[in-house]
Amino acid sequence: MPAFILSRILQAIPVLLVVGFISFAMFAFVGDPVTAMLGQDYTEAQRIALVHKLGLDQPFFVQYAKFMWAAAQGEFGLSYRLARPVSGLILERLPATVELAMTSATLALLIGVPMGVYTGIRRNSFASRAFMVFSLLGVSLPTFLIGILLILVFAVLLGWLPSFGRGEVVHFSHWSTGFFTVSGLKALILPAVTLGLFQMTLIMRLVRSEMLEVLRSDYIKFARARGLSQRAINFGHALKNTLVPVITIVGLQLGGLIGFSIVTETVFQWPGMGLLLVQSIQVADIPVMSAYLLLISVVFMGINLVVDLLYYAVDPRLRMTRRVSANAP
Amino acid sequence: MTLLDVQDLTVEFPTRRGTLRAIDSISFSIGTGEILGVVGESGAGKSLTGAAIIGLLEPPGRIAGGQILFAGKRIDNLSQDRMRAIRGRQIGAIFQDPLTTLDPLVSIGRQLVETIQTHLRLSDRDAKARAIKWLEEVGIPAARARIDAYPHEFSGGMRQRVVIALALCAEPRLVIADEPTTALDVSIQAQIIELLKRLARDHGTSVMLVTHDMGVIAETCDRVAVMYAGRIAEIGPVVEVVRHPKHPYSEGLMGSIPSLEHRVARLRQIDGAMPRLAAIPPGCPYNPRCPKVFDRCRVERPGLLEADATRAACWLYDKAAAHV
Ligand SMILES: Nc1ncnc2c1ncn2[C@@H]1O[C@H](COP(=O)(O)OP(=O)(O)OP(=O)(O)O)[C@@H](O)[C@H]1O
Ligand code: SF4
Ligand SMILES: [Mg+2]
């Protein structure tokens, strides 16, 4: 098992190098940080001094190596826009995005999986049909539209929930959390629903179709022929088998939550990394953009690793090495 | 003594273009400890008959007529729950493909224990002991050590042994084995049939054995039913049906078996194909292919008629008409 994890981490290194190269290439070829930082009036000497200070006069690969070395230590230099270290900016925004994504993911899983199981087992019930219609809305309406509709209903018309911001937060050293204040929790609801709705309905539909597929399989028919109770069949056999393919897609979807949070954070002015990215893109704040890109790829790889480990836990066929001798005829 | 008594069983599938009658009023019985073979071309209705008996017809398929008596009591009209208690406990089933009949994510020991505990009030320890006993009985070597192994850790033949253990572990009185060797290596088929035969004998279990292998029928079964287009064409003691088939269709099937000693494994191909369910001809369903067809066959449908030691659904054996 540790060997497995180690090999996955080693496999991730080339990917990170490539993503790092793309991030770095943005530095090298997009925009002109020097003019951006100097403003309108500057002397040639000032310009050369800044170019030297930023290391832009060094050879390309030296710059790349330096960039990667610094990135590995969490150093992405100064934000062009705010002239503050990028790492600090991101750390400041990270908790908001993580809490939002986690809440959405939890909602999506806790509601999506049971609904998928239910609609799979009770295919023809009224509730199942209602869920399916509802899920169609969830997968087809764009995120920003859902956000705006929710704001319209719950913030503007009903006035129950705030339409923007994060409410009051509590600080634990570097981490700021909205989980412990009423206003923080209230502010979380609409963005979390907006962000999670798509994933939730997707998970539900996925679990449902996998469940239907599994319920048609021979081993479920045989379980019936063995006289097992409906409950034992559905939850002891069908659900477990349903989870194997569902895990991958759900893993990727949850990674996508962080990506999708850009739209949601913009709609709700949620002070997370997505909003930071949008603000940075508007002024071509390359260091922030490349740091974001690298961070997201690390997050995706982390999720992939967790997905693989889950597979490992659920599917004995992957644990082959454990007992090879048992394979004798 | 009769254990299973199927009377005029009819199975239908409602479809948009009318109702398809897949099983048309078939009757047969299986005695205690008896092995009944069931043969017939693909689509003859063998599997559906088995599914109807254990109450696992897939909707929209349904029993549209007749009744099924098990140990003297009707079981075709039981509630889902009552029928569930019969499955595995009174009537077991063995499926065709052992590679797909075992849940790949659950250890074989777990699958055995859950089956045993569903039907018998046993503690975890006793259930596990029973599971090991059954694995030993079906010939899994080192059963105690391999009880926690998963299906993929076994070969196809071994998996079918596990399936047999699962079907028999609550000691049902009847087992429906639907082509239990078709998916296996030829070299293993005989072993599995031998095992099934031995277990049935040792436990006094009745068996309904569906197979395409006439050799297996000849060596294993007491009686045999030949099915054609959802009906029984002929039924009788295996020696009679194999050596002296009365129905022209059985005759065609057996034509390729020179003797019981030199068995030829597969059913012989008969010219033409069995009609689709929607296009079964009036009269005798076999009449378009029958070499002995005569006028009456195209109009009137024959029921099972006494034909020496067997019964055949063929007008050739209509005694009332014989001396006209
Ligand atoms: N869901 C269904 N809808 C309509 N017809 C069906 C359905 N299931 C089975 N049938 C029909 O019922 C008939 C009998 O099928 P069955 O599976 O019992 O055949 P079989 O004798 O077991 O054949 P095989 O040797 O191929 O296993 C076939 O003609 C088949 O087309
Ligand atoms: S009834 Fe007629 S057609 Fe049918 S099997 Fe007998 S002889 Fe052939
Ligand atoms: Mg079949």
| B27-59 tens-digit pLDDT | 999 999 999 999 998 999 999 999 999 999 998
Query: Is B184 an interface residue toward A (CB < 8 Å)?
Result: no
**For residue A124, is it within any domain?**
yes
Q: Do B163 and A222 touch (CB under 8 A)?
A: yes
CB atoms within 10 A of CB A311: 17
* B47 pocket-lining for ligand 1 (C-beta < 6 Å): yes
Residue nearest to atom 1 of ligand 2 (CA): B314
Amino acid identity, position B209: L
Last residue of a domain, one of A282, A306, A322: A282
Could you tell me the two tokens for B178? 């639907």
| Buried-exposed string A175-188: b where 16+ CB fall within 10 A, e elsewhere | ebbbeeeeebbebb
**How far does the centroid of ligand 2 lie from the alpha carbon of residue A281, in Å?**
84
Q: Do A329 and B87 touch (CB under 8 A)?
A: no
Could you tell me the two tokens for B158? 């071994």
Could you tell me the two tokens for A170? 């509590």
**For residue A190, is it within any domain?**
yes
Is the pLDDT reported for residue A152 higher than 80?
Answer: yes
B103 neighbourhood in chain A, CB within 8 Å: 219, 223, 237, 240-241
Model pTM score: 0.84
pLDDT by residue (tens digit) across A99-143?
999 899 999 999 999 999 999 998 888 998 988 888 888 888 888
Could you tell me the two tokens for A11? 């496999």
Residue nearest to atom 18 of ligand 1 (CA): B45
A39 and A177 part of one domain: no
Question: What is the model's pLDDT at position A112?
Answer: 92
Q: Across the strands, what pairs with B175?
A: B92, B207
CA distance A103 to chain B (A): 30
SS3 assignment, position B152: helix
Is the pLDDT reported for residue A59 higher than 60?
Answer: yes
* B44 pocket-lining for ligand 2 (C-beta < 6 Å): no
**How far does the centroid of ligand 1 lie from the alpha carbon of residue B46, in Å?**
8
A45 and A143 part of one domain: no
Picking from B206, B1, B111, B90, the residue whose alpha carbon sits closest to that of residue A220 is: B111
Q: Tell me, rounded to whole angstroms, the distance of Cα A83 from its chain centroid.
A: 28
CA distance B17 to chain A (A): 22
Cis bond before residue A33 (omega within 30° of 0): no
A147 and A36 part of one domain: no
**For residue A132, is it within any domain?**
yes
Q: Do A218 and B100 touch (CB under 8 A)?
A: yes
* B317 pocket-lining for ligand 2 (C-beta < 6 Å): no
Picking from A182, A203, A172, A176, the residue whose alpha carbon sits closest to that of residue A104 is: A203
CA distance B132 to chain A (A): 16
Phi, psi angle pair for A9, to nearest 5°: -70, -40
* B13 pocket-lining for ligand 1 (C-beta < 6 Å): yes
A270 and A232 part of one domain: yes
A202 and A276 part of one domain: yes
Question: What is the model's pLDDT at position A142?
Answer: 86
pLDDT by residue (tens digit) across A162-179?
888 888 888 888 888 888
**For residue A238, is it within any domain?**
yes
Picking from B141, B142, B160, B164, the residue whose alpha carbon sits closest to that of residue B151 is: B160
Question: What is the model's pLDDT at position B265?
Answer: 46
Angle between helices B156-168 and A218-225 (to 10 degrees): 30
Could you tell me the two tokens for A39? 């403003």
Phi, psi angle pair for B210, to nearest 5°: -90, 130
Can you list the alpha helix ranges (DSSP code H) found in A141-217?
Answer: 143-150, 182-215
Last residue of a domain, one of A72, A101, A122: A72
Question: What is the model's pLDDT at position A305?
Answer: 84
CB atoms within 10 A of CB B212: 18
Q: CA-CA distance, A299 to A322, in Å (whole number)?
A: 30
The residue of chain A with its CA nearest to that of B142 is: A326
- Give the gyration radius of chain A's Cα atoms: 24
ipTM summary value = 0.91
Q: CA-CA distance, A79 to A285, in Å (whole number)?
A: 6
Q: CA-CA distance, B111 to A226, in Å (whole number)?
A: 10
Closest residue to A219, CB basis, from B88, B89, B100: B100
**For residue A148, is it within any domain?**
yes
**How far does the centroid of ligand 1 lie from the alpha carbon of residue B48, in Å?**
6
Q: Tell me, rounded to whole angstroms, the distance of Cα A46 from its chain centroid.
A: 42
Last residue of a domain, one of A45, A72, A99: A72
**Which residue has 């570097």 as its token pair?**
A174
CA distance B154 to chain A (A): 6
Question: What is the model's pLDDT at position A323?
Answer: 43
Is the pLDDT reported for residue B177 higher than 80?
Answer: yes
Average pLDDT taken over every residue of chain A: 85
**How far does the centroid of ligand 2 lie from the alpha carbon of residue B228, in Å?**
12
Question: What is the model's pLDDT at position B256?
Answer: 53
**Which residue has 């603000």 as its token pair?**
A279
Is the pLDDT reported for residue B267 higher than 60?
Answer: no
Question: What is the model's pLDDT at position A31?
Answer: 66
Q: CA-CA distance, A268 to A143, in Å (whole number)?
A: 12
Q: Do A227 and B102 touch (CB under 8 A)?
A: no
**For residue A302, is it within any domain?**
no
B100 neighbourhood in chain A, CB within 8 Å: 217-219
For chains A and B, CB pairs below 8 A equal 94
A8 and A65 part of one domain: yes
Pocket test for ligand 1, best of B11, B13, B15, B48 (most atoms within 8 A of CB): B48
Is the pLDDT reported for residue B16 higher than 90?
Answer: no
CA distance B143 to chain A (A): 11
Q: Do A228 and B118 touch (CB under 8 A)?
A: yes
> Is-contact A143 A198, C-beta < 8 A?
yes
**For residue A77, is it within any domain?**
no
B105 neighbourhood in chain A, CB within 8 Å: 237, 240-241, 244, 314-316
- Kindly state the average pLDDT of the residues A3-21: 83
Q: CA-CA distance, A221 to B55, in Å (whole number)?
A: 11
Q: How many domains does chain A have?
A: 2
Closest residue to A229, CB basis, from B84, B93, B102: B84
Question: What is the model's pLDDT at position A179?
Answer: 85
Residue range(s) defining the domain that contains residue A131: 86-282
SS3 assignment, position A234: helix
A48 and A196 part of one domain: no
> Is-contact B143 B132, C-beta < 8 A?
yes
B88 neighbourhood in chain A, CB within 8 Å: 225-228
- For domain B2-90+172-317, the CATH class is alpha beta
Q: Do B95 and A221 touch (CB under 8 A)?
A: yes
